[in-house]
Amino acid sequence: MSDDKSPEQRAPEQSPENVPAPTGQVGQVGVRTGMFGVSGTGDTSGYGGLVSAVTFPAPVQRPYGGWFDEVADALEAGTRAAGVEHALGDVVVHRGEITFHVRREDLVAVVKVLRDDPALRFEFCAGVSGVHYPEDTGRELHVVYHLGSMTWNRRIRLEVTAPDSDPHVPSVTGVYPAADWHERETWDMYGVVFDGHTALTRILMPDDWPGHPQRKDYPLGGIPVEYKGGSVPPPDQRRSYN
Amino acid sequence: MSTTDAYAGTNETTEGRVFTVTGQDWDAISQGLAEEAEERVVVNMGPQHPSTHGVLRLILELEGETVTEARCGIGYLHTGIEKNMEFRTWTQGVTFCTRMDYLSPFFNEATYVLGVERLLDIEDDVPEKAQVMRVLLMELNRISSHLVAIATGGMEIGALTVMTMGFRERELVLDLFELITGLRMNHAFIRPGGVAQDLPVGALEEIRSFVALMKKRIPEYAALCNANPIFKARLEGVGHLDLEGCTALGLTGPVLRATGYPWDLRKTQPYSGYEDYEFDVQTWDTADAYGRFRVRLAEMWESLRIVEQAADRLAGLEGAPVMVADKKIGWPSQLSIGSDGMGNSLDHIKHIMGESMEALIHHFKLVTEGFRVPAGQAYVPVESPRGELGAHVVSDGGTRPFRVHFRDPSFHNLQATSVMSEGGQVADVIVAIASIDPVMGGVDR
C-alpha cells in the first residue's frame, strides 16, 4: 500500500508548480507571522504561530510579451554599446507593468541609453520613489524610477537597490534634471545618498531634522514637537487611561 | 524694522544686514538700503505671503528689480500622509490621500485606487457605473480646480473680480460634490472596487442645470480676460518655458500643453474608460502664462462636454452597482438619508444583523481588518488639473500599503520656478508661479 501512490500525486520534481524556485530567483523580502496582522496577545485565533514568507513577483524569462521585448532588446543592445552589458539584472513583469532591475553602479549609463536611444526615447522621468525593505538583507533600500516615453507612449520602471550600510546610488539628475527634487525627497525620507547630485539637501523635513522618517525603523509619531519652548510628549507618554 | 524679533536674531550677518519686513514698513528698508549702497538684495518671500499661492517660500536674489536667482523652499505643509497611509488599511488610505492636493481630491483618490485595483487585478471588474461616476466627479473637479487656478492667479496680479467670479462658480461645483458625496472637500469617495455610494436622487438634474449655467458663465471669463490689455500685459511672455524645457524638467499638464504639445493622459493612456468620451486636448502655442490661462479656460469647456456625456450615460445606469461584486473587497457598509440626516443604511443593518451571518462576517472583517492586496507594485498615473499625478503603490501582501509614493505634479512643476522667473522682474515671479498653479498640500504631502 505504501508504494501505491495515486498518479495525481507526483513527486515534487515532476510537477512544476511544486518545484521550489531556484535560490536567488524569488526575492523574499520579509516574513509575516500570524494570520490577522495582530501581534502580541491580541491574536486569539490560534493562527498566531503561522509564519509565511513575503515574496514579490518573481523575475520572468523571455518572451515578456508585447512591446516589452522590443524595449528589452534595444536596452540590451544599448547597454552593450555603452560598455555596461552586465548592468541589467532581473526583469519583472507584473500586472502589465515591466520593471528592470539595474546594477546601481551602471544606473547613469543605463538611463542615458534609455533617454537617447531612438528605439527607446524615455525622455520623461515621472518620479523617483524610495522603498525600505528592512528584511531584504544586503539590499534594504530600493530606489524606483518611473520613466515614460512620450515618443512611443510607453512606461517602464527601473529599480536599484543599495544596502543600509552603504546607502549610495548615483544621481540621474545629469540625465533627467526632473529627478532633482525627487532625489532630494528620497534622501530626506530614506537616507539614500545620491552621488553626483549638486545640492542634496532635505526638502520636506526641516534642515536640522535627525533621521529619515519614512524608513520602516522610524516610528510613526512619538517625536517631541517643540513650539516656543513648550514641547509635546510622544503619544504613549501623554496620558494614561488605566 | 524691529530688533526685538526673536526669530530674526541679529540684523548683522556675514551676508550683510538683515531687515525683517512684516507689513508696510518699506521706508525702513529703502532707507537702510540707501545706506548700504548695494544693489544686490536677497528677499525671503513667504512662506506666509498672500501672493505665493500657499505656504511657499521663495528665496529671491535681486539686482534692483531684476531677479537674478530664484529658489523655492517647500515643506511647510508636510504632514507625513504617505507614512500615515502605511499604518491604515487600503480603504482608509483614500481618506488620507484625498487631503493631499486639496483642490483636486478626486484625482488623488483615483490614482491611488487605480493602483490598488491593478494590484488586486480587478481593473476589469469595477462596475461601469462606478467608472462613469469617477469620470464625472473628476471632470467636475477639474473645472473647480481650474476655476481656483484662474481666480487666485487673478487675485495675485490684482484682478480681484476674476477672483470673486472664480470662487463664485467653484462654490457651485462644491455644492454638487456635497450633494453627491456628502462633503465639499476631502471626500474619500472613490474606493478600491468602485465608489462609496450611488448617485443620490435628483443629482443628474442638478448637474445638468450646473452645466447649463456654466455655459453662460465661462464666456464671462473670456470676455473679461482674453483680450484685456492689462491682463495680457501682465501675462504675455511671462514665465516662458518651451517644450524642451518642459521635457527636461518633467513638466506636464497645462504648462506642457501651452507649448503646443497635445500630451494628455486621458487621450494617450486612457484610464477609467476615458476612451469612450468625446473631447479634445486643448493646446496653446505661446508657452507663457497667458497660454496656460487659455489652456485652462478651454479645458473647462472640454470638461463640461465630458460631464454632459457622463450624465447621459448615468441616466441609463439607474440602479446599477457602484461597487465591485466581490464581497471580499467591496466595501460593505452603505449610507442612506434618514429622518435625522445621513447615517447607516437601515436595510444594510437589517441584512447583516438579521438575515445573513456571512454578510456580517464580511462586514466585520472588511471594516476592522480590510482586505489583502497581492504583493507587487503598480503605478497608474492620471491627468490631474496640474499634470501627471501618479501613485507608486507597493504591497507586501498585507492589509495595509507597504509604501505609497505620490508623484504630485505641483511638486514636480515647481522645479521650474527658477528657469521661469530668473532674469525677469519680481512681479513676474508671482505670475510665473501662479501659472504653474502649485497646490502646497500636494507639494508637501
Residues of chain A with Cβ-Cβ distance to B92 below 8 Å are: none
Please report the pLDDT score of residue B37 as a whole number. Answer: 59
* C-alpha grid cell, residue B246: 518642459
A186 falls within a domain: yes
CATH number of the domain at A174, please: 3.30.460.80
Supply the range of the domain harboring residue A149.
68-195
Give me the residue label for grid cell 477639474.
B142
Tally the domains of chain B. 3
ipTM computed for the complex: 0.84
Residues of chain A whose beta carbon is less than 8 angstroms from a beta carbon of chain B are 29-30, 32, 36-37, 54-57, 94-97, 99, 123-127, 129-132, 144, 146, 150, 153, 155, 157, 176-182, 185, 202-206, 213-214, 220
B365 falls within a domain: yes
B426 vs B138, more confident: B138
Whether residue B387 contacts residue B246, with contact meaning beta carbons closer than 8 Å, is answered with no
Cβ-based neighbours of B97, under 8 Å, separated by 6 or more: B81, B85, B108, B109, B112, B391, B404, B406
Which DSSP string do the residues of A155-184 spell out, in sequence order? EEEEEEEE-TTS-EEE--TTT-TTHHHHHH
Please report the pLDDT score of residue B340 as a whole number. Answer: 75
What's the CA gap between B382 and A189, in Å, rounded? Answer: 24
B1 falls within a domain: no
Please report the pLDDT score of residue B411 as a whole number. Answer: 92
C-beta atoms of A153 and B444 within 8 A: no
Please report the pLDDT score of residue A241 as a whole number. Answer: 47
Does position B288 have pLDDT exceeding 80, yes or no? yes
B3 vs B44, more confident: B44
How confident is the model over A49-57, as a mean pLDDT? 80
Does position A66 have pLDDT exceeding 50, yes or no? yes
Highest mean pLDDT pick, A57-61, B251-255, B342-346, B427-431: B251-255
Same-domain check for residues B115 and B133: yes
Over the stretch B293-310, which tens digit does the pLDDT of each residue have? 999 999 999 999 999 999
Same-domain check for residues B346 and B387: no
Partner residue facing A146 (CB), from B86, B390, B411: B390
* C-alpha grid cell, residue B177: 460634490
Over the stretch B75-117, which tens digit does the pLDDT of each residue have? 888 988 998 888 888 998 999 999 998 999 999 999 999 999 9
Over the stretch B394-440, which tens digit does the pLDDT of each residue have? 998 888 899 999 999 999 999 998 999 888 888 888 889 889 888 98
- Residue B158 φ/ψ, nearest 5 degrees: 95, 5
C-beta atoms of A57 and B414 within 8 A: no
**For chain A, what is the mean pLDDT?**
80
Please report the pLDDT score of residue A46 as a whole number. Answer: 67
What's the CA gap between B282 and B278, in Å, rounded? Answer: 13
Percent of chain B with pLDDT over 90: 39
Over the stretch B327-352, which tens digit does the pLDDT of each residue have? 888 887 777 777 777 778 888 888 88
CB atoms inside a 10 Å sphere around CB B186: 16
CA–CA min distance B347, chain A (Å): 29
How many beta-carbon contacts under 8 Å exist across A and B? Answer: 115
Chain A residue at shortest CA distance from B387: A126
C-beta atoms of B119 and A125 within 8 A: no
Pairing mode of beta strands A141-149, A124-132: antiparallel
Please report the pLDDT score of residue A87 as a whole number. Answer: 84
Which DSSP string do the residues of B201-225 spell out, in sequence order? TTHHHHHHHHHHHHHHHHHHHIIII
Partner residue facing A150 (CB), from B249, B263, B400: B263
CB atoms inside a 10 Å sphere around CB B404: 25
Residues of chain A with Cβ-Cβ distance to B118 below 8 Å are: 95-97
Write down the H helix ranges in A82-204: 107-116, 179-190
3-state secondary structure of A226: strand
Give the pLDDT band (50/70/90) at residue B364: confident
Same-domain check for residues B305 and B339: no
* C-alpha grid cell, residue B28: 525702513
Does position A167 have pLDDT exceeding 70, yes or no? yes
Chain A residue at shortest CA distance from B72: A203
Does position B311 have pLDDT exceeding 90, yes or no? yes
Whether residue B337 contacts residue B180, with contact meaning beta carbons closer than 8 Å, is answered with no
Which residues between 119 and 148 in chain B have a beta carbon less than 8 angstroms from any beta carbon of chain A?
119, 121
Does position B36 have pLDDT exceeding 80, yes or no? no
Domain C-terminal end among B26, B44, B73: B73
How confident is the model over A70-87, as a mean pLDDT? 88
Chain B residue at shortest CA distance from A217: B83
Same-domain check for residues B244 and B387: yes
Residues of chain B with Cβ-Cβ distance to A125 below 8 Å are: 250
Mutate to test the interface with B, among A31, A184, A203, A220 (most CBs of B within 10 A): A203
Region label for A121, one of left (φ > 0), alpha (ψ between -120 and 50) or beta (otherwise): left
Does position B147 have pLDDT exceeding 80, yes or no? yes
Does position A187 have pLDDT exceeding 80, yes or no? yes
CA–CA min distance A91, chain B (Å): 13
Over the stretch B111-123, which tens digit does the pLDDT of each residue have? 999 999 999 999 8
CATH number of the domain at B433, please: 1.10.645.10
C-beta atoms of A125 and B248 within 8 A: no
Does position B275 have pLDDT exceeding 60, yes or no? yes
Does position B371 have pLDDT exceeding 50, yes or no? yes
Please report the pLDDT score of residue B56 as a whole number. Answer: 87
Percent of chain B with pLDDT over 70: 91
- Residue B265 φ/ψ, nearest 5 degrees: -60, -25
C-beta atoms of A205 and B75 within 8 A: yes
Pairing mode of beta strands B387-395, B40-45: unpaired
What's the CA gap between B7 and B4, in Å, rounded? Answer: 9
Which of A140-149, B14-23, B115-124, B277-286 has the least mean pLDDT? B14-23
B355 falls within a domain: yes
Which of B157-161, B271-275, B286-290 has the least mean pLDDT? B157-161
Please report the pLDDT score of residue B332 as a whole number. Answer: 76
A52 falls within a domain: no
B307 falls within a domain: yes
Give me the residue label for grid cell 514641547.
A231
Whether residue A198 contacts residue A135, with contact meaning beta carbons closer than 8 Å, is answered with no
B51 vs A105, more confident: A105
B241 falls within a domain: yes
Percent of chain A with pLDDT over 70: 74
Whether residue B242 contacts residue B259, with contact meaning beta carbons closer than 8 Å, is answered with yes
Q: Using the 8-state DSSP alphabet, how is residue B355 labeled?
A: I
Whether residue B262 contacts residue B270, with contact meaning beta carbons closer than 8 Å, is answered with no
Chain B residue at shortest CA distance from A144: B392
How confident is the model over A201-223, as a mean pLDDT? 84
Amino acid B131 reads Q
Supply the range of the domain harboring residue B386.
81-324+374-444
What's the CA gap between B184 and B332, in Å, rounded? Answer: 24
A101 pairs with which residues across the strands? Answer: A159
CB contact burial B137-149 (16+ within 10 A = b; e otherwise): bbbbbbbbbbbbb
C-beta atoms of B405 and A129 within 8 A: yes
B5 falls within a domain: no
What's the CA gap between B51 and B430, in Å, rounded? Answer: 6
* C-alpha grid cell, residue B227: 483680450
Tally the domains of chain A. 1
What's the CA gap between B443 and B445, in Å, rounded? Answer: 6
